[in-house]
Amino acid sequence: MAERIGRADFTGRLMAPLPVVKSLLSKWRIPILIGLGIVFPLVAGNYWIDVAVFWGIYVLLGLSLNIIVGEVGLFNMGHSAFFAIGAYTTAILSERFGVSLWLLLPLSGFAAGVAGYILAKPIIHLRGDYLLIVTIGLNEIIRITLLNNPWGLTGGPNGIIMLDQFRMFGYAIQRPMDFYYLVWAFVAITVFALVRLQRSRIGRCWNYVREDEIAAAAMGIDTRSAKLLAFTLGAAIAGATGTVFAAKLVVISPESFTFMESVILFTIVILGGMGSIPGVILGSAAMMVLPELLRNFSKYRMLFFGLAMVLMMIFRPQGLWPSRRWTTILREGEGE
Amino acid sequence: MKTKGEVLLALSKVSKSFGGLRAVDSFDLDVALGNITSLIGPNGAGKTTVFNLITGIYRPDAGSIRFEGRELIGRQPHQVAKAGIARTFQTLRLFENLTCFENVLSGQHCRTSSGTMSSILRTPAQKREEAEVRHEAERCMKLVGMWDFRDELARNLPYGYRRRLEIARALATDPRLLILDEPAGGLNEKETGDLMELIIGIRDSGITVFLIEHDMQVVMGISDWVSVMDNGRKISEGTPCDVQRDPCVIEAYLGIDNDDDFCFEASQEPEGTEIS
Amino acid sequence: MALFIEQLVNGLTVGAVYALVALGYTMVYGVMRLINFAHGDFFMIGSYLGFTLVSSALVGGAIPLWASLIVAVVLSMAGVAILGVIVERAAYRPLRRSSRLTAVVSALGVSIFLQNAVMLIWGPRYRAYPPWAVPNVTWQVGGIYINFMQVLILAVSFGLMVALYLFVQRTTVGAAIRATAIDHDTARLMGIDVDQIIRLIFLIGPALGAAAGVLLGLYYRQIHFTVGWTYGLKAFTAAIMGGIGNIPGAMVGGLLLGILEMLGAGYISAAWKDVFVFLILILLLMFRPTGLLGERIAEKV
C-alpha cells in the first residue's frame, strides 16, 4: 500500500509545479506513439481499425467527461445525454436541411453546450450524491424523449438514418481507415487544448474549486460559474463527438445513449484515473479493446466488468494512470 | 499617505441569530484604515460569526456593513474578496493536494481575466498575464518567507508553515483589508513572534488588518485598537492598555462574581489613536 | 372520476412497492451516506427468487396457494438478506473509510455484476410468474374494482413498514441504528458495534426490497433483470421526497410517488410517465432538497 502511494508521490514531485501529463516529461515517448498511431491502419485489418475508431470516440467522450468529473469533481452520470444531443442535432439538421457535416461539428457542440448550461444551471449547487442522481434522471429524461419521437423529429426507437459524409476536397470519408485518422486527429487536437487549459488560469481555477469550494470563494473565485463552465465545455465536446459518431454509424438511435453508456463513460474516467488525460486514454482502451480481445467470453464480459469495478475501487481507486491530486483523496476519503 | 482615523470597514448594529440563539447582537465596530484592529472575547462570543458576516458566508438579520463606504450585505463571498477583503480561516483551509505555489496563485485569479479561448491559444495578453500572476505569487511567498517551499504539496507542510501559506494566499488577492481568524492558533513562542513581525510588516505595507485572536501576547503586542465581544455583544473597546484594565473585560474572561454592574456600551470613534 | 380513483388505487399499490424499496435505500443512506445502486437489484433478485419458488413444483403444487405465497415471500426475503450481507462485507466494508465516490462506483459494479449474474442464470428473456399463482379475485367497492393482489400488496407493505417503524423507534437495537446514523464514532464510544448495525441494515433493507420484488412479480407477473435500475432510481426519488434517512418519510414518499406516477400515466401519457417522475425529482431537489418530512442525517458544521 505504502509503495503505491510512494510511486504516486514521486510522480507528484516530478509533476511540479503544475499538474501535467506524465508522458510530456519523457519527450521521446510521444513521437514514437504518434508514429505507431499513423502506421497502424496501414498494417491492421479493417476490423481492428474499426475498434480503434470506437476507442478514439470513447477517448473523446472520456476527455469531455473528465473535465466535469476529474478536473472539477462533479458527479455526472448522465453524460451520454449530451452525446445524444450532439448526434441527433447532426442527424436532424443534416437529413432535413442538408447542413454540411463540417459545419455541424461546431453546431452540435454548441447545441450540446447550451443544453449543458441550461440543464446544469439550476442544479449545479447540489451536493455530490444528489447531483449524481439528478444527472441520471436527466439522462433518462432525454433518452425517453428521443424514444417518444416528439413532433416526429427523432424517429422513435428506430432512430434516424443519416446518409451524409464528411468530405475533404471531394473525397468522402467512409472507410474505416479514413475515420481512424479523422477521429484520432480530433483526439490530438482535444488533448492539446485540454492540456493547455489544465496548465492555465482556468484549469487552476477548477482545481481550487474541487479542492475546497469555501476557500476558493474566499479567494474571489466564482465557484458556480467555474462549475458551469466545466459542465458546458464537457457537454460541448461530447456533442461535437456526436457528429463524428453519427457519420460513422449512419444510423443513430436511442439505444446508444442509455444510462449504461453513461456508466461506462463514468467508469472510464474513474478507472483510468480521474483528472488524468493519459488515464482516460488508457481507461477507454480497457473498456473498448479488452472486451474485443476476450470476445470468446462475451457472455461473461459485463459480469467481469462489474467485478473489475469493485476490485479496482478496493485495491487501486486512483486508477490505472493516476493523477497526483486524486490519489490521496480517494484512498483516505474527503476527511469530512 | 494614509489618513489616520479614516474608517475602512464599518459595522453598524449588526445582528445574527441561528434558530433561537443570538450569535451577534447589535454589534458596532469601526476598523480604521491603516490600523491593526483586534477582536477578542471568550469562546463562543460570536467573533468568527462576525467574520463570516463580513465575508458574506452568512447574511445578517439586521444592521449594515460598509466597506470603503459601500454596503457589503447581500454580496457573495467571492464578490467580497474581489472588493478587497481577504481572509484566513480558523481551521485552515488550504488546497491540500496542490503545491504551495499553486495555493498562492489562487489569490490572483480574481485579479485576472484570461478566458478559455485565450488560455488554449496562449495569446500574448494571456502570456503576459501568466507572467504577472506568477511574479505576484512569488512576491507574496517571499514576503512570508515561504518561497523555498513553493513546490511542496500543501498537505506535507509542517503546521507553523501552513498558517503562513494561508496568509500568503490571502495577500495574493491584493486586498485592502486582511481578516485573520486566530492566526496564532497552535504556534509556539518563536513562531508567534515571527507572526507578529509579519502582521506588522503587512500593516506597514498599506494593508489594514483585522484579526480575531486569543493569544494576548499578540493582541497586546501589535494591536492599534481592540474590541471585546461577549455573548454576541460588544462589551468594551479601546487601545490595548485601556481594554486590559477594563473591569468588564476582566469579568468576561475570568467570570468574577460582582453584584455591581460596571458594564456600559463602549461606542467611541477610534479617533487619532496612538500607533505604538 | 372513476379514472381518478382507479389510478389512485394503482398508484397506492405501486407506491407501496416503491415505499418498501425506498425504506432500504433510506436506511442505508442514513447510516452510511452511500447510494447503494445495487439496492434496486436486490429488489429484482427478490422477484426472481420468488418466481423460482412459486413456479417450482415443490412449492407450487404440493401445498395450498396461500401457504406457498407466504413461503415464497419469506424465503426470497431470507435469500436476498443473506446476499445483502455478503455484498456489504465484500464490496462496501473495505471502502468505508474511503471517499464516497469509490463507494458509489463499487456499488455500480455490484449492480452490474448482479444483473448479469441473474441474466446468465435465468436467461436474457422476460420470465413470468405462473398465472395460477395469483388468485383472480376482484371486489367492487363503490363503483371501482379492486383486486386481490392490490389488497395483498397494500396489506403486506403496510405491515412490514409499521413493523420496521416500531422496530426502529421502540427497540434498543432501533435506537442503536438511529445513533449510528448520526455519528459512527460516537456510537462506537457508546458501546454500539457499528459493524453489526451495518450488517443488520443490509439484512433488513434488501429483505424489504425482496418482499417488494415478489409482490410486484405477482402483480405484474412479468419480471426482467433490467428493472433494478429503474425501480431503484424511483425508490431513491421517493426516499428523497420524504427526506433521506427518514423512515416515515420513505413510506410517504413512496406512496406519493406511486400516486403521482399513475396519475401522470393516466392523465398525461404512459410513455412519458417516467419523464414526469424524474422531473418531479429534479424540481424537488431544486426547491426542497430536504424533502417533505425533513432529512435525518447529521450535517457536519
pLDDT tens digits along A93-119: 988 888 888 899 999 999 999 999 999
Residue of A72, A75, A141 for testing the chain C interface, max C β-carbons within 10 Å: A141
Cβ pair B128, B220 in contact under 8 A: no
Residues C169-198, mean pLDDT to the nearest whole number: 88
Identify which has the larger pLDDT, B192 or A165: B192
Lowest-confidence range among A4-8, A196-200, B240-244, C267-271? A4-8
C-alpha B135/C-alpha B147 separation (Å) is 12
Residue A266 included in any domain: no
Residues 6+ apart with CB under 8 A from C279: A141
Contact check, Cβ <8 Å, A211/B98? yes
Confidence of residue A332 (pLDDT cuts 50, 70, 90): low
Q: How high is the pLDDT of residue B270?
A: 42
| Closest C-chain CA to A310 | C106
Residue type, C132: W
C-alpha A267/C-alpha B264 separation (Å) is 64
Residue of C101, C119, C273 for testing the chain A interface, max A β-carbons within 10 Å: C101
Residues 6+ apart with CB under 8 A from B81: A217, A218, A219, A220, B55, B87, B110, B173, B175
Scan residues 126-165 of A and list those with Cβ closer than 8 Å to C. 126, 128-130, 132-134, 136-138, 140-141, 144-145, 147-148
Choose among A204, A283, A19, B211: nearest CA to C105. Answer: A283
Scan residues 169-198 of A and list those with Cβ closer than 8 Å to B. 193, 196-197
Contact check, Cβ <8 Å, A314/C285? no
Lowest-confidence range among A72-76, A162-166, A258-262? A162-166
3-class SS string, chain B: CCCCCCEEEEEEEEEEEECCEEEEEEEEEEEECCCEEEEECCCCCCHHHHHHHHCCCCCCCEEEEEECCEECCCCCHHHHHHHCEEECCCCCCCCCCCEHHHHHHHHHHHHCCCCHHHHHHCCHHHHHHHHHHHHHHHHHHHHHCCHHHCCCEHHHCCHHHHHHHHHHHHHCCCCCEEEEECCCCCCCHHHHHHHHHHHHHHHHCCCEEEEECCCHHHHHHHCCEEEEEECCEEEEEECHHHHHHCHHHHHHHHCCCCCCCCCCCCCCCCCCCCCC
Q: Which ranges of chain B have pLDDT less than 50? A: 1-4, 257-276
Chains A and C touch (3+ CB pairs under 8 A): yes
Confidence of residue A10 (pLDDT cuts 50, 70, 90): very low
Biggest alpha carbon distance in chain C? 60
Identify which has the larger pLDDT, A165 or A19: A165
Residue A271 included in any domain: no
Residues C18-28, mean pLDDT to the nearest whole number: 90
Domain count, chain A: 1
pLDDT digits (tens, 9 = 90+) for C61-119: 567 777 778 888 899 999 999 999 999 999 999 888 877 788 888 999 999 999 999 99
Residues C198-220, mean pLDDT to the nearest whole number: 91
Question: Which element (helix H / strand E) includes A172?
Answer: strand A171-172
What stretch(es) of chain B map to CATH 3.40.50.300? 1-84+175-276
Query: What is the span of the domain harbouring residue A189?
Result: 47-259
Confidence of residue A240 (pLDDT cuts 50, 70, 90): very high
C-alpha B110/C-alpha B150 separation (Å) is 21
Choose among B212, B168, B10, B175: nearest CA to B81. Answer: B175
Question: Using the 8-state DSSP alphabet, how is residue A67 labeled?
Answer: I
Residues 6+ apart with CB under 8 A from A133: C35, C233, C236, C237, C240, C281, C285
Q: How high is the pLDDT of residue A267?
A: 87
Q: Which backbone phi and psi does B33 adopt, to 5 degrees?
A: -60, 135
Identify which has the larger pLDDT, A165 or A21: A165
Question: Using the 8-state DSSP alphabet, how is residue A268 labeled?
Answer: H
**Rounded to two decimals, what is the model's pTM?**
0.85
pLDDT digits (tens, 9 = 90+) for A29-78: 778 888 888 888 888 888 888 889 999 999 999 999 999 998 888 989 99
Q: Which backbone phi and psi does B102 adopt, to 5 degrees?
A: -60, -35
Residue A336 reports pLDDT greater than 90:
no
Question: Which of the following CATH numbers is that of domain B1-84+175-276: 3.40.30.10, 3.40.50.300, 1.10.645.10, 2.60.40.10?
Answer: 3.40.50.300
Residues A80-88, mean pLDDT to the nearest whole number: 94
C-alpha A56/C-alpha A43 separation (Å) is 18
Confidence of residue A330 (pLDDT cuts 50, 70, 90): low
Third-level CATH fold of C2-287: ABC transporter involved in vitamin B12 uptake, BtuC (1.10.3470)
Identify which has the larger pLDDT, C300 or C125: C125
Residue A330 included in any domain: no
Cβ pair C292, C252 in contact under 8 A: yes
- Find chain A residues with C-beta within 8 A of C101's C-beta: 75, 128, 270, 330
Residues C252-269, mean pLDDT to the nearest whole number: 86
For C235, how many CA atoms within 13 A lie in the half-sphere containing its CB? 39
Counting Cβ atoms within 10 Å, is residue B5 exposed (0-12), middle (13-18) or buried (19+)? middle
Contact check, Cβ <8 Å, A219/B173? yes
Residue A168 included in any domain: yes
> ipTM of this complex > 0.90?
no
Confidence of residue C294 (pLDDT cuts 50, 70, 90): confident
Choose among A139, A155, A142: nearest CA to A260. Answer: A139
Residue A4 reports pLDDT greater than 70:
no
Q: How high is the pLDDT of residue B65?
A: 93
Q: How high is the pLDDT of residue A155?
A: 83
CB pairs under 8 A between A and C: 130
- Find chain B residues with C-beta within 8 A of A193's C-beta: 120
